[in-house]
Amino acid sequence: MRRLTGALTGDGQAARVVPPTGFTAWLTVFTAAAMAFLAVFALALSFSAGRLADRWGEALARTATLRIAAPEGQVAAQTEAALRILEQTPGVAATRALTDAERRALLAPWFGPDLPVERLPIPQLIEITEEGEGFDPQGLRLRLAAEVPAAVLDDHTRWRRPLVQAADRLRALGWAAIALIGGAMAAMVTLAAQAALAANAQVIQVLRLVGARDAYIARAFTRRFTLRALGGAALGAAAGTGAVAALPREGAEGFLTALGFAGVEWATPLAVPALAAVVAWAATRTAARRTLRGLD
């Protein structure tokens, strides 16, 4: 790290020996800016997916549904029996039988708003909210089977797990994208640095003639490329953060509308230019040393 800060703050004269213009300058700045822009989006994606996974996992883990599909005349009695059993079950905080209006609202997306729920054999649903360590689903199922044979307990495990897994994988993909972006940037900066070194063979020859060590020459190129990458990445990160901030926020429960940063996460794009500088420094240093070793 001391070497990196030295490269940024150190011998400005060393950087002056590298001609200031050339396509490699713009290539490095543009690459760093584009990669930083993408990295900010990957960060936002990763954080959003993480929040979603946590929220889904938390919300679904704390609820369960009891479905009672009894013959028409027994629905009320079995519902009452089920509610009584649930009240006695450790780990159950609250229970609530869904009203006709709520069941109608659940089915409205498929059957429309005027569904005559009371005339259809639609099961009664009871929403269960858990507390503490939650209830023992296996024990509850056995008791319900004995006393409320029409009751089916759904603790949401079946469809909660793939949802949470998907969100977790999305989060991992976000981090993988950031790593790939870093790798791609390192490759681009390496190519640019090698091109610059090749284009400046005459400069290197002059510097060696007057007694410059290879470390001095490498430092000159490294400083130049690190500063270019830092500047480009700062621009790209600022643009990316602005673009994320401009995303619509209405209905923030949805995944796409929740894409972005929350709280202290807004500070994380600040790390992108610093990381870009580290990547550029390491890539240029390696490329310069390798190239100089090959030049006689």
Partner 1 sequence: MIELEGVSYSYGGGDLLQGVELTLAPGSFHFLTGPSGAGKTTLLRLCYGALRPTAGRVTVFGRELSALDRDGVAQARRRIGVVHQDCQFLDHLPVAENVALPVAVSETGQTADPGNLSELLAWVGLGARADARPPELSGGERQRAALARAVIMSPEVILADEPTGNVDWEMSQRLLHLLIELNRLGKAVLIATHDLMLIRAAKSQVQARVLRIADRRLTAAGADL
Nearer to partner 1, 22 or 137 (CB): 22
The sheet carrying 151-154 orders its strands as 92-97, 124-130, 63-68, 151-154
Q: Does 294 bind partner 1 (CB under 8 A)?
A: no
Partnered with residue 124 across adjacent β-strands are 68
CA distance 163 to 159: 7
Tokens coding 250: 């209405």
Site for partner 1 in 216-255 (CB under 8 A): 216
Nearer to partner 1, 36 or 207 (CB): 207
User: What region, left, alpha or beta, does residue 266 occupy, with left being phi > 0 and alpha being psi -120 to 50 degrees?
Assistant: alpha
Q: Smallest distance, Å, CB 205 to partner 1?
A: 7
Stretch that binds partner 1, among 10-18, 48-56, 90-98, 115-123 (CB under 8 A): 10-18
Q: Pattern of binders to partner 1 over 189-218, x per CB under 8 A?
A: -------------xx-xxxxxxxxxxxx--
Q: Smallest distance, Å, CB 219 to partner 1?
A: 10
291 phi/psi in degrees, rounded to 5: -65, -45
Number of residues that bind partner 1 (CB under 8 A): 20
Q: Classify residue 81 as exposed, middle or buried by CB count within 10 Å of its CB (0-12, 13-18, 19+).
A: middle
Stretch that binds partner 1, among 12-20, 36-44, 156-164, 227-235 (CB under 8 A): 12-20
Partnered with residue 63 across adjacent β-strands are 129
Interface contacts to partner 1, rule CB under 8 A: 13-14, 16-17, 19-20, 202-203, 205-216
